[in-house]
């Protein structure tokens, strides 16, 4: 896993150079937004289950997915879906703290699309639920942190899409 700091340092190191202006600016932005990131992570962790509940109510509940024949039907599959959403929320929060997407590639997206396809988990509906979490999260953390979290929610969605 990388973060905004190791990312910039590794890039300079492979060239054997000190940080250039661009890298300095990137780092400065990361440090300046540090408090925002930590506060957002605290808000999200204190409200994780209600964020997921509200997102599910906005996107999946009362749709065919939760009725007989739907992929969320039966409590076992319903619970698996909620657990998956919790993974997406938690790992997006880690990535937002790190300011880097690599943790999502390594621990979440690796093989995920194939697993979903082989189990018949609908990817479109999953993306809708993640987008709903993005909205609910932004309304709790405020627009700046919401935008930052949005980067990582969107990253998961596009990783599921390709
Ligand atoms: C931390 C990284 C990580 C991820 C991301 C992960 C996902 C993941 N979700 C799974 C299943 C599942 N995922 C869902 C999810 C859904 N079904 C829907 O209709 C909804 C749209 C959606 C929720 C938004 C369901 C229902 C299953 C169970 C499918 C089945 O067994 O039939 C499975 C198969 C094994 C299992 O059931 O536990 C994996 C590996 N596991 C991991 O370790």
Ligand 1 atom with minimal separation from the 108 CA: 2
Q: What is the mean pLDDT of residues 20-42?
A: 96
* Ligand 1 contact via 72 beta carbon (within 6 Å): yes
What Å distances lie between residue 103 and 1, 91, 95, 154, CA to CA?
5, 7, 6, 14
Q: How far is the CA of 99 from the centre of ligand 1 (A)?
A: 26
- Entry pTM: 0.96
Residue 144 pLDDT exceeds 90: yes
Q: Please, which pLDDT band fits residue 73 given cuts at 50, 70 and 90?
A: very high
* C-alpha 47 – ligand 1 centre gap (Å): 22
Per-residue pLDDT at 75 exceeds 70: yes
pLDDT value at 34 more than 70: yes
| Residues 103-128, mean pLDDT to the nearest whole number | 97
Task: Over range 23-38, report the average pLDDT.
Answer: 96
Cβ(55)–Cβ(84) below 8 Å: no
% of the chain with per-residue pLDDT over 70:
99
Q: 133: exposed, middle or buried (C-beta count within 10 Å: 0-12, 13-18, 19+)? A: buried
Identify the pLDDT of residue 97.
Answer: 98
**Amino acid 162: pLDDT:** 61
Mean residue pLDDT of the chain comes to 97
pLDDT value, residue 74: 94
**d(CA 64, ligand 1 centre) in Å:** 18
Neighbours of 79 (CB within 10 A): 11
Residue nearest to atom 42 of ligand 1 (CA): 108
């Amino acid at each position: 896993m990388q973060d905004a700091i190791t990312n910039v340092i590794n890039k300079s190191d492979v060239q054997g150079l000190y940080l250039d202006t661009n890298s300095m600016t990137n780092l400065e932005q990361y440090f300046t937004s540090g408090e925002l990131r930590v506060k957002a992570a605290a808000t999200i962790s204190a409200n994780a289950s209600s964020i997921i509940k509200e997102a599910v109510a906005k996107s999946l509940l009362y749709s065919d997915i939760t009725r007989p024949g739907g992929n969320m039907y039966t409590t076992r599959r319903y619970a698996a879906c909620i657990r998956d959403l919790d993974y997406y929320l938690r790992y997006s929060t880690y990535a937002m703290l790190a300011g880097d997407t690599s943790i999502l590639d390594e621990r979440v997206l690796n093989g995920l699309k194939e697993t979903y396809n082989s189990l018949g988990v609908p990817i479109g509906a999953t993306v809708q639920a993640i987008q709903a979490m993005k909205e609910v999260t932004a309304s709790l953390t405020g627009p700046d942190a919401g935008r930052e979290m949005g980067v990582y929610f969107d990253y998961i969605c596009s990783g599921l899409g390709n």
